[in-house]
Amino acid sequence: MGDERVKTDAMQIMGMFQVLPRLVVFDLDYTLWPFYCECRSKREMPSLYKDARGILNAFKEKGVDIAIASRSPTADIAKTFLDKLNITSMFVAKEIFSSWTHKTDHFQKIHSKTGVPYSSMLFFDDENRNIQTVSKMGVTSILVGNGVNLGALRQGLTEYNENVNTSEKNKQRWLKKFSGNSSSSEKNEKK
């Protein structure tokens, strides 16, 4: 029952925004679930943060693709847990591998697989160093404190829309400036 309520609330939050990201990327450890995979055994039954499944389901229902970018050194355990939680098939890309690049390699692979521009992605992670690095790629990135929840969702969509609006305003300024210059040069050529 809790997952459905969260899904309904998440859908309402999403409905408040003009633009949704084309792809939402999630870290795993301490973002979707409250533990590090390398500290667990494949035999255990994992659990998600209380809002996570409802939020994932809401994105799927809205037609927004979701992916995983995890620097876990135990990809086998992470993949087993995704299977046990019956959420593996929800993700269009699952980049789970150990890395020192703070997820730039993960995002390059996700971009190659999906074709989604970085500026059309939203990312949730619990590590500030990943947030900083991925933000520099043009991805709207949100730091989560206690896993992904409805508050983080609202913050993420707010920041994503602000970034889209800023980008659109800059594009319009550039187009106005460019079209203004071309019309004045055409006038000069006619003289």
User: Cβ neighbours of residue 94 under 8 Å, at least 6 residues apart?
Assistant: 67, 68, 79, 82, 88
Return the active site residues: 27, 29
Domain-embedded: residue 185: no
**What is the rounded CA–CA span in Å between residue 153 and residue 166?**
20
pTM summary value: 0.87
Domain-embedded: residue 13: yes
Domain-embedded: residue 95: yes
Provide the CB-side half-sphere exposure for 116 (13 A, CA). Answer: 24
Per-residue pLDDT tens digits for 3-51: 899 999 999 999 999 899 999 999 999 999 999 999 999 999 999 999 9
Confidence of residue 188 (pLDDT cuts 50, 70, 90): very low
Identify which of 116, 123, 188 has the alpha carbon closest to the alpha carbon of residue 160.
Answer: 123
Per-residue pLDDT tens digits for 96-116: 999 887 899 999 999 999 999
User: Cβ neighbours of residue 171 under 8 Å, at least 6 residues apart?
Assistant: none
Structure confidence at residue 9 (pLDDT): 96
- Is the pLDDT score of 62 beyond 60? yes
Domain-embedded: residue 133: yes
- Is the pLDDT score of 190 beyond 50? no
Domain-embedded: residue 7: yes
Report helix, strand or coil for 82.
Answer: helix
Which has the higher per-residue pLDDT, 110 or 183?
A: 110
Domain-embedded: residue 183: no
Per-residue pLDDT tens digits for 124-175: 999 999 999 999 999 999 999 999 999 999 999 999 999 988 777 666 777 7
The domain that holds 154 is classified in CATH as: 3.40.50.1000
Domain-embedded: residue 44: yes
Task: Give the whole-number percent of the chain exceeding pLDDT 70.
Answer: 90
Structural domain of 162: 1-173
Give mean pLDDT, residues 182-188.
Answer: 44
> What is the total count of domains within the chain?
1
- Is the pLDDT score of 182 beyond 50? no
Domain-embedded: residue 181: no
